[in-house]
A and B are shown apart, each in its own frame.
Chain A
């Protein structure tokens, strides 16, 4: 998380907290007999604080994954070679260890020759 996103998060949290506190103060200090609506600056502070907080959280997180299955699975296939159902191809529960060891012995022989 960069310095800018951390600063913006702190700022927006402070704004939101301050606006909530101001709203609370306003409702407790104004008398019940002359009701007034919430002052404009508190409203603006709440809106700005909330939207800045949401925007910073979303934009600072770069671990977002694609939504469409076809795009996400395609990304996995081309980046790491196996998708979420790779274990249906590998089937580790039925692993044939003797053929794996034989393959490895051949691999070592081939590497030794080359």
Chain B
């Protein structure tokens, strides 16, 4: 199998390569060999996709030599005026910066580019990311709200806004942003799970909010039958409702009997996931080990 096919195969088996340092490293170790091979000189869409993914992975694992070579080839092929290439260059500069002064210089460069071309979405996003990195969260939120005012169908931006609000403790605004993401991508079960989690964190003692959390988790597992976070959330919140004995009577559609049934179904599903993931069955190796252990812990607590 050619190296390009190997890397594409790896990307298909690991669709979120930058999630953990270990997974970034798994991808970045292909970079030196790829640069040496003849596959890196092909001019196909797949090659450039691999270039971009390898560049991001190399920057995450501090392999700056390979990263600069990959970036240089991309600049030569597409020119340094393209917004996507400018964003990658900005990312590289941010990674190389050693102190806040250099980061502020990169920020100035982003603002200069945005003055020249206010429609440069990639650079706007990089500026917001850099503001967050510099701990200027209120500026980041203001900039993100500005981005969304002229680009309201960007689900990624709404999801980022939800995360920023959540970090600030502004849960109602976070819920609003997540609902905007749902409007754009109605089948995103992971966002339903996040909604459930945010409702639960926002008010763990309010029975109405807990009922809404349960509904969101139910929708998440309705859309994806083996979504670990969905089942975990469902078990957690129904467990809390049953334990605290919240006044669930009369709440439309969610009485004690239903809550107990949901609690048990979630427990069964979690047990199946834990059993099969720990055994390492074929087709069950995609779960995160930490999440599986947490699920095992939760089920044990409930027994």
Residues of chain A touching chain B, judged by Cβ–Cβ distance below 8 Å, are 69-71, 73-83, 85-101, 103-108
Contact = CB atoms under 8 A, between A and B. Distances in A.
Contacts of B91: 95, 97
Contact of A77 (B59, B94, B224): B224
Contact of A69 (B16, B223, B287): B223
Interface stretch (B38-46, B109-117, B127-135, B207-215): B127-135
B227 A73 contact: yes
A101 B62 contact: yes
Majority secondary structure, B binding face? helix
A71 to B, nearest CB: 6
Give the interface residue-count category, chain B.
35 or more
A74 B227 contact: yes
Contacts of A79: 283-286
Contacts of B157: 93
Contact of A74 (B19, B61, B224, B285): B224
B286 A94 contact: no
Given A78-B286, A82-B286, A108-B21, 13 more contacts: A73-B225, A78-B277, A80-B13, A81-B287, A82-B16, A87-B156, A88-B155, A88-B159, A88-B181, A90-B16, A91-B159, A98-B95, A104-B24
B26 interface: no
A76 to B, nearest CB: 8
Contacts of A96: 129, 132-133
Contacts of A86: 15-16, 190
Interface string B11-36: 01111101111101100000000000
Contacts of B16: 81-82, 86, 89-90
29 contacts: A70-B225, A73-B189, A73-B225, A73-B227, A75-B226, A77-B286, A78-B277, A78-B285, A81-B286, A81-B288, A82-B15, A82-B16, A86-B15, A88-B185, A88-B191, A91-B159, A92-B56, A94-B156, A96-B132, A96-B133, A97-B95, A97-B133, A98-B133, A101-B59, A101-B62, A104-B21, A104-B24, A104-B62, A107-B20
Contacts of B19: 90
A83 B224 contact: yes
